[in-house]
Amino acid sequence: MTSDQTNANAEPSSLHGTAFRPRSVEDAVAAIEKAFDYRGDVTLLLADGSRMDGYIFDRRRQADPPVLRMLTETGERCTVRYDQITLVHFSGKDTAAGRSWETWVKRYYEKKMRGEAANIHPESLDE
């Protein structure tokens, strides 16, 4: 599997901007596992030249053939065979990047130490 870093400014812990070109079904499995764990939209390029943008909400590696299920930008639920995927691009913002419990606690205490108002309300995802 080859990886093309298309966004050099992406947060280091995030796959945002990265693209994978699977060379085999095994490569596709690895890329889809990353995409399934990703908390943002992905773009899939398919063997027939079509493109799908959306959120991968399910994958079935043990199916024959392996498939994933995606909620597209238009709200449609689609099933895609792994062997039809020629590119997996992490195109949407990773809404979970930098938002771990440990990061939240660290920011909370940093604000408290500076004398700023710190509260338990979450930060906006639009940042």
Q: Quick one: how far is CA 33 from the chain centroid?
A: 10
Q: Tell me if 111 sits within 8 A of 123, measured CB to CB.
A: no
Name the DSSP class of 124: P
ω into 65 cis (within 30 of 0) = yes
Instruction: Note down the domain range covering 108.
Output: 97-127
Q: Are 88 and 32 in contact (CB under 8 A)?
A: yes
Task: Note whether 36 and 82 are same-domain residues.
Answer: yes
Are 65 and 20 within one domain?
A: yes
pLDDT of 125 strictly over 60: no
Are 107 and 82 members of one domain?
Answer: no
Q: Which of 11, 23, 13, 45 is closest to 3 using CA atoms?
A: 23
Q: Is the pLDDT of residue 13 over 70?
A: no
CA gap 18, 4 in Å, rounded: 6
In the structure, what pLDDT confidence band is assigned to residue 123 with cuts at 50, 70 and 90?
A: low
Percent of the chain at pLDDT > 90 equals: 46
80 vs 120, higher pLDDT: 80
CATH number of the CATH domain containing 61: 2.30.30.100
CA distances from residue 29 to 65, 80, 83, 97, 99 in whole angstroms, order as listed:
11, 12, 9, 22, 26
Least reliable range by pLDDT among 33-37, 46-50, 90-94: 90-94
Say yes or no: 81 and 102 in one domain: no
Residue 11 above 60 pLDDT?
no
pLDDT tens figures, 93-112 = 766 666 666 776 787 778 88
- Residue-level pLDDT at 54: 95
Name the 3-class secondary structure at 84: helix
In total, how many domains does the chain have? 2
